[in-house]
Amino acid sequence: MDNQPLKTRLGWRHNELLLLLLAGIIFLALVINDSQGSLASPLVILRLALSLFLATFASGYTVQAALFPQRKALRLVERIALSFGISVSILPLLGVILSLLPWKITLWPIIIGLGSIMVVAAVVALHRRSGLPESDQASFTLSLNWWGWWHRQHRTNRLFYFLLVLMLGCIITVVVAILLIPKTGTLLTEFYLLGSENVAETYPNDGIVGQPMAVVLGIMNREGVPAQYSVIIRHDAETLQPLGPLDLGNNERFEKSISFTMQNVGDHQRVEFILEREGYASPYRVLQLWVNVRPAS
């Protein structure tokens, strides 16, 4: 029986970095497509898997490849461990930088920041490798002679690798459970008001009697099923304006600028925005806005 290890290269020779960048492009396409739906749908699972892979391994792998382009600089196990370590270090550092910038820690700044790090590091790694003889260039090579490799390990190393595999197994089990087990407590409908600049402030707190006051009303259906809504704007016992019925599919959003008119002068008057859902007798959500109404000059 041939005891020589069978080696398989992932992708083109010495170009596993291009495969990592391709994974990033696929993830970017899924985000732009905004693949939504059930948490167990294939596209959503693929997007989550790619995001974990890119954030916890690929970003660090490109950086270590740029730092150590020579094959003999690190062993494969050391490269993998260093890739995870660098990735874990990049994320909080990127978060601190984004928190100081106007864009803050949101989805697209994180994607752009992490993607920029990967692209720059991959370009540097490929450039540094190109200056080395092909036999000295680092590449991702897997040895499939696991049985011989295992017997060559010290008892302490075996325990370490066993615990590592056990931990990864627990993490994968938890992730699969989160994706596949339905959690009805997390299903909800977002019901919100935005001010004149489409932000959660600058609400119309002061108005003039008989003149319209405008807000942006938003509804986001995250119930997991289609739902029908209607909205009533009420002051005291008077209905100022009804809206609906509105049929929203799962993960579908409705936003619209609406106006209402106050007929009584006075300070600190309460305006209620009541969301009703088909099949529910009582109000499903209620928002309140307090306004001061002055007489017309």
The model's pTM is 0.50
Query: Are 94 and 149 in contact, with CB atoms under 8 Å apart?
Result: no
pLDDT value, residue 144: 52
pLDDT value, residue 145: 64
Express as a percent the part of the chain with pLDDT over 70.
82
CA pair distance 215, 134, nearest whole angstrom: 64
DSSP annotation string for 222-261: ESSS-EEEEEEEEETTEEEEEEEEEEE-TT-EEEEEEEEE
Choose from 164-178, 230-244, 264-278 the range with maximum mean pLDDT: 264-278
Query: Are 195 and 203 in contact, with CB atoms under 8 Å apart?
Result: yes
Return the closest-CA partner of residue 49 out of 223, 185, 171.
171
For 262-294, the pLDDT digits (tens) are: 888 888 888 888 899 888 878 888 888 888 888
Query: Are 62 and 90 in contact, with CB atoms under 8 Å apart?
Result: no
- Residue 85 has a CB neighbour count (10 Å cut-off) of 12
pLDDT value, residue 142: 53
Report, as an integer, the average pLDDT of 55-73.
Answer: 90
**What end-to-end distance do the CA atoms of the chain give, in Å?**
100
Choose from 16-25, 40-49, 138-147 the range with maximum mean pLDDT: 16-25
Return the closest-CA partner of residue 191 out of 249, 231, 234.
231
Residue 126's identity, in one-letter code, is L
